[in-house]
Amino acid sequence: MTTRAAPRTKFGDVFGVGEFRTLWLAQVLSVTGDQLARVALTVLIYDRTGSALLAAVAFSASVVPTFIGGLVLSGLADRLPRRRVMIGAELTSAVLVTVMAVPGVPLAVLIMLLFAVTMISALFLAARSAIYPEILDRDQYVLGTAITMTTLLFAQVAGFAIGGVVVGFLGVHASMLADALSFGASALLIRMRVQARPVPEAIPRGASQPLDTTPRGDRRRHAWYSVGGGVMAGLRLVFGDPALRIPMLFGWLCAFYNIPEGVATPLAAAVGGGAVTVGLVLAAQAFGSAVGAVAFSRLVTAVQQVKWTGPLAIAACASLVVFAVRPSLPLALLILAVSGIFGCYQLSANALFVQAAPPAQRSQAFGIAQGGISLCQGAAILMAGAAAQHVAPATVIAVAGAIGALFALALTRTAAARQIAAHRRH
């Protein structure tokens, strides 16, 4: 007797879920507005001071706080209804950005406000990520995550691409007000179209929870909900459970194969290019990532996705070793695109992480994992930039790829050993 293969999930299946469609549109509004605000604030600070360093500090203040917000604030989305957290985060951000739009606000205050907005965005992301498994089944979740990842990439590119034009046309302060309106529109969409759900119940450690089950009932209060206790409990959760730790570390490997972003300018100069070449270097890997995410989620079965997680992670890093031959620009762009395509394994790692995360701590687990990505990427790019002062940027990329491939190989062997041990126990 032959069994018919389950039909593959289609884009229409995912966008047919009204709540996902709403959250997707809210993401487009917020991310595009955020990129616009980054451009506006950078222009404002540079115009006031003429300092490229201060402009860079302002831009960094819109990235670094993701780690702090993911670590400290994400647990709130496990203690309060997640829809309420998302709405509150968006409205608070709208107010803070509106204050930033007021003429004459001191530069130090502007940077602190941007820091706060970015921290709050990490809370929003944790709450939204925790809701996804409640509105999408396993196959829909993987494709929905691919759509979200691809949308983020294109929204960031579009936001930067049109940001300069919009800021030039509307002015800095009006552009910031437009960002505030995008937060308000996002909050309104979520309030109108996303279902209110109770706070998830705490589930004993070791208990299983299906990916698409929505927990019911009131959440029991625990001592770890203080800020310090909550952070430590979250860290113990994600690092203490191999089912969470291994896919999380697979996710953090992106710090190695994203190194080209940190040395894009010297790499472009090394191949005889300028600003346009820098843009091509940055776009090549992002384009590959978008293509890989869609293809992986649409063409590869769930079982195969899990099996290919390790090999693809190794390939995403190892492909960069080819930079050791100092490739020409066309070959360099091809290598970056291929590395981005192999990075599609992040979808599987994300799904494995979701399956293992207790629903009652899912937001905090996501926040810590995402914050770790930001920290690792920031540290890796800083070290790569420092190294590129002394050696060729192509060499920096090749070495980073080799180190990343070794870490990926070690993780793959650890995951395989764990699976073998689990089969023996059963």
Domain ranges in the chain are: 13-198, 236-426
User: Residue 27: which of 96, 94, 101, 124 has the closest Cα?
Assistant: 124
Of the pLDDT bands very low, low, confident and very high (cuts 50, 70, 90), residue 340 is very high
13-198 matches 236-426 in fold? yes
Q: Round the CA-based radius of gyration of the chain to a whole number and report it.
A: 22
d(CA 31, CA 21): 15
What's the pLDDT score for residue 12?
Answer: 72
Two tokens, residue 331 = 């070959």
Q: In the chain, pLDDT over 90 holds for what percent of residues?
A: 26
CATH class of 13-198: mainly alpha
What's the pLDDT score for residue 336?
Answer: 94
Q: Residues with Cβ < 8 Å from 254, sequence gap 6 or more?
A: 343, 346, 373, 376, 377
Of the pLDDT bands very low, low, confident and very high (cuts 50, 70, 90), residue 331 is very high
Q: How far apart are the first and last CA of the chain?
A: 27
Q: Among 54-68, 108-122, 251-265, 281-295, which is the least confidently predicted range?
A: 54-68
Scan for tokens 């709540």, then name that residue: 19
Whether residue 234 contacts residue 241, with contact meaning beta carbons closer than 8 Å, is answered with: no
Q: What is the reported pTM?
A: 0.74
Of the pLDDT bands very low, low, confident and very high (cuts 50, 70, 90), residue 251 is very high
Two tokens, residue 255 = 């710090």
Burial class (CB in 10 A: 0-12, 13-18, 19+), 179: buried
CATH architecture, domain 236-426: Up-down Bundle (1.20)
CA 247 to chain centre: 14
d(CA 352, CA 117): 30
What's the pLDDT score for residue 221?
Answer: 40
Two tokens, residue 391 = 């050696």
User: Residue 317: which of 249, 257, 371, 245 has the closest Cα?
Assistant: 257
